[in-house]
Amino acid sequence: MAKLSLKKLLVTLASISGIGKPSVAHILIVVFLEYFAWGLLTMPMIGSLKETFPDHTLLMNGLVMGVKGILSFLSAPLIGALSDIYGRKLLLLITVIFTCLPIPMMTIDNWWFFVISSISGVLGVTFSVVFAYVADVTTKEERSRSYGMVSATFAASLVIAPALGNLIMDLYGINTVVLIATLVSSANVIFVLFAVPESLPQKVRSTGLSWKQADPFLSLRRVGSDTNILLLCIVVFMFLLPEAGEYSSVPAYLKLTMGFDFVELSVLVAFMAILSISVNVTLGSIVKNIGAKKAIILGLLLEMLQLVLYAVGNEKWQMWLAGNVAALSSITFPAVSVYVSLYTEGESQGAVQGMIAGMSGLCNGLGPAFFGIIFYLSDMDISEDSILLGSLRGNRTIPGPFMLGAMFVFISIIIASCIPEEKSLKGKKQEFSAIKYIIEMDDS
């Protein structure tokens, strides 16, 4: 009875009409508020990590982020399929609530905060609904640009949030930061509830749910349907695995082992976000001038360089250089999407993009855990003896995760050089119809 009442309540809440017609602008506000709230907690979370897991900080950081990422990968197709049945607004409301749910827990108990953060990945899969909402309100021609705007909004939320969170923490304490982050996330829930209109009309919704719709491995099983798509997916896996691991661990690594204070780290994160936005805005010009394949290889070379800098650098300026190169390397994944759009027919493009997205989701789960475990195995994890006065700086062993990640990216560069130039794809589209045929046979 309680379950029925809860379901009825959620459906009733989701039926609130919202403000205006469904638009990309609505979803950009949701994305900005969600990640701005979490951005405020960037610096407090590093301190809480060290306090909660003093002996194996980077290992536990990787495991927490890894569990959350893997759960998100497993549940994302189900959340997307449910949004096809019950509408985008209801599932957006649920995912925003569960994404923000762990935030107030930080003031109650750090250990439970990290536990709930990891398991919130089951229902905190906002982007699964966000991209479906964008697809509802845009044409095919507008969609790539709109997805780029969503990614840029995510980066924009990190421009001032970490620095602001650090300033508030210094002036008023960590509890005030958590309170403000909770208020921002609550405002996001209220915005979804009262301002976001439903984008999926009742008449076009699915009537049932099949296992195939909720299968997270379906897109990955289609990877071998075409040799070049297989090569591209291997490239994506080899560079996204270390990228996801690096993204989850670098702030804590710089603070706890390289002597960055919270102010320096906040400024670096902000600068990286601004640079990443700038380079992605110019991606169209880059691809136009050098081509999608060369843009992919350029991004991979930049990623390998910044991983090597993180691995061998022992001075702050080297870490700054690595951060700047990392921001420039953010063109790689969008360039892959551009290449796929040139490679495949319109009818099969969504499925191939789904394969790439599935590989991305898998890496977002495995990467943080991979880095955390390698930090631990290479004796580079944080411990009370090694963290005092930043003793890992200077004459230290090379951090295994970064160097191993650079090797992964080097392999991906070699493989990427084997995929055809996009100019050679003209006139060969018929050869790639096998992708569409295999997908249709699989669906039937």
Q: Is the pLDDT of residue 320 over 60?
A: yes
Using one digit for the tens of pLDDT, what is the confidence trace for 8-27?
665 666 666 678 888 989 99
Lowest mean pLDDT among 45-54, 121-130, 163-172, 390-399: 390-399
Give per-residue pLDDT as tens, 285-313: 787 788 888 888 999 999 999 999 988 88
Please state whether the predicted TM-score (pTM) of the whole model is above 0.85. Answer: no
List Cβ neighbours of 233 (8 Å cut-off, separation of 6 or more): 223, 355, 356, 359
Q: What size, in residues, is the chain?
A: 444
Across the range 112-139, mean pLDDT stands at: 81
Give the mean model confidence (pLDDT) for residues 210-222: 69
Tokens 């319109």 — which residue? Answer: 346
pLDDT band at 321 (very low <50, low <70, confident <90, very high): very high
Q: What is the pLDDT of residues 42-56, one digit of tens each?
A: 888 877 887 888 777
Most confident stretch, 129-143, 222-236, 287-301, 331-345 = 287-301
435 compared with 71, residue with greater pLDDT? 71
Burial string for 20-50 (b: 16+ CB within 10 Å, else e) reads eebbbebbbbbbbbbbbbbbbbbbbbbbbbb
Q: What is the reported pLDDT for 261?
A: 83
Using one digit for the tens of pLDDT, what is the confidence trace for 333-389?
878 877 876 666 544 555 565 567 667 777 878 888 888 888 777 665 554 444 433
Helix, strand, coil distribution of the chain in percent, nearest 5:
80, 0, 20
What domains appear along the chain, each with residue ranges and CATH number? Answer: 21-197 (1.20.1250.20), 217-444 (1.20.1250.20)
Residues 6 or more apart whose CB falls under 8 angstroms from that of 207 comprise 85
Instruction: Please give the mean pLDDT across all residues of the chain.
Output: 78
